[in-house]
Amino acid sequence: MNLSALGRRLASESGTRTLMDDLGAVATVGSEIMNLGGGNPSRIPAAERVFEARMRALLEREGAFGQAVGSYDGPAGDREFARALAGLLRREQGWDVSERNIALTNGSQSAFLALFNLFAGPDAKGRMRRVLLPLSPEYIGYADLGLSPGLFVSRRSTITELGDGLFKYGVDFRALDDVEDIGAVCVSRPTNPTGNMVTDGEVARLGAFARDRGVPLIVDNAYGLPFPGIVFEDAVLAWEEGTILCMSLSKLGLPGLRVGIVVASEATISALSAVNAVFCLAPGSLGPAFATGLVESGEVIALGREVIRPHYEQRAARALGILRAGLDGYGVRFHRPEGAFFLWLWAPGLAVSSAELYRRLKARGVIVVSGQHFFPGLEDDDWPHKHECIRISYADEWERIERGLGIVVEEVRRARDGA
């Protein structure tokens, strides 16, 4: 598909477009709307004070600001930042990495566009290789990234009931065995939209599965360890040859800087740098220049541990408490919140679909995300589960979240009662 055809397809059929329009409207209209929808992180004053101090330090350091805004970096991005990060990953994680294993992108979203189309799509003989998403539901932002249609393939997750109205998705490894023509495997961890922390055992098995097929395992670590560290469970972050780890500064509270980070083999990093050169000449320099000290000193990890993670963990508990209290006896379940900043509400047996629930909530000024968008690669599967869930973000200003949750409770009750 050429780019103008792709543009027309995105403009006309994208399942996520109305949603993105709604979220865009929230960004412009602002405070009237209860935004339980987007992926924006919280504005956390203690974190913003750290960022402001770092920005002042950049301005005060002789020549640093001029260098950051006055020159293009190379296509792999700021090398001083990459060296600082490699040092941090060696110290904290014990990984054998250098700056040659690191490339920067303008946000991690653009890394996925590059990586998916590097490793999947039609090969030289025209045979289609696909990105396997072993868990479903999975991140909405992957859905339209294929430059050719049909880039994704997925399988239903397993569902384990944990009692107390909680459940957890798992990888159905037996169902993956018959998937052919895989170019890459990708999983977000913690998972957006569910807050699921794919277990260490599942990651190891997915790594072996990918190695057996000679393809990379891409781990989307936008919310993960070692930073921003929005993980509420004990977990290990593994990296080995063949793993492509995507990270970001966004969920730390810095989405405006657009700093995405890829840690991978040197061969993958040079391919990605070549794509960067075509897409944008070079990734932006101001974000990495600002953040180098934060990474070099290790302050970025302390910030995650002491400020960011406790903030979201407390919110997860409060938000879940409100929904559970309001929906007790209504047959509603929640994915156990294990990380990121979303609650995934599963309401089997409602009189209306999640898309209708979304419309009703929107009419009352509450934006959530209807679940059916989160099943890229499962378009041909008529799994009823796809229409029984909504994603609720608890990152926005708390007073609005609390009001919004109250309305979610009312509308789910109404839909359950058949109204």
Closest CA to 342 of 239, 418, 230: 230
Q: How far is the CB of 376 from ligand PLP (least distance, A)?
A: 12
Output the DSSP codes for 361-419: HHHTTEE-EEGGGG-TT-TT---GGGGSEEEEE--S-HHHHHHHHHHHHHHHHHHHTT-
Using CB under 6 A, which of 35, 188, 196, 370 touches ligand PLP? 188
Is residue 107 a contact point for ligand PLP (CB under 6 A)? yes
**Tokens 């932006």 — which residue?**
284
**One-letter amino acid for residue 104 of the chain:** L
Closest CA to 260 of 91, 252, 268, 100: 252
Give the range of 84-92, 95-103, 105-113, 271-279 binding ligand PLP by CB under 6 A.
Answer: 105-113
Site for ligand PLP in 25-54 (CB under 6 A): 39
Give the separation between CA 358 and CA 399, rounded to whole angstroms. 21
Q: How far is the CB of 221 from ligand PLP (least distance, A)?
A: 8
Is residue 109 a contact point for ligand PLP (CB under 6 A)? yes
Contact 243, 216 (CB under 8 A): yes
Number of residues that bind ligand PLP (CB under 6 A): 14
Q: How far is the CB of 245 from ligand PLP (least distance, A)?
A: 12
Contact 229, 172 (CB under 8 A): no
Output the DSSP codes for 21-59: HHHHHHHHH-TTSEE-SS-PPP--HHHHHHHHHHHHHHH
Is residue 405 a contact point for ligand PLP (CB under 6 A)? no
Q: How far is the CB of 189 from ligand PLP (least distance, A)?
A: 9
Residue 108 vs 332, nearer CB to ligand PLP: 108
Give the separation between CA 39 and CA 47, rounded to whole angstroms. 18
Q: How far is the CB of 23 from ligand PLP (least distance, A)?
A: 11
Give the range of 82-90, 228-236, 247-255, 403-411 binding ligand PLP by CB under 6 A.
Answer: 247-255
Give the separation between CA 50 and CA 58, rounded to whole angstroms. 13
Residue 78 vs 411, nearer CB to ligand PLP: 78
Give the range of 102-110, 167-175, 195-203, 343-351 binding ligand PLP by CB under 6 A.
Answer: 102-110
Is residue 247 helix, strand or coil? strand
Binding mask 132-161 for ligand PLP (x = CB under 6 A): -------x-x--------------------
Q: How far is the CB of 318 from ligand PLP (least distance, A)?
A: 21
Is residue 192 a contact point for ligand PLP (CB under 6 A)? yes
Binding mask 285-304 for ligand PLP (x = CB under 6 A): --------------------
Q: How far is the CB of 70 from ligand PLP (least distance, A)?
A: 25
196 burial level (CB within 10 Å; 0-12, 13-18, 19+): buried
Report the DSSP pairing between strands 369-370 and 217-220. unpaired
Where helices occur in 228-308 by DSSP H, the ranges are 266-280, 286-296, 299-303
Is residue 393 a contact point for ligand PLP (CB under 6 A)? no
Binding mask 345-384 for ligand PLP (x = CB under 6 A): ----------------------------------------
Give the separation between CA 419 and CA 406, rounded to whole angstroms. 18
Q: How far is the CB of 40 from ligand PLP (least distance, A)?
A: 8
Residues that bind ligand PLP (CB under 6 A): 39, 107-109, 139, 141, 188, 192, 220, 222, 248, 250, 255, 260
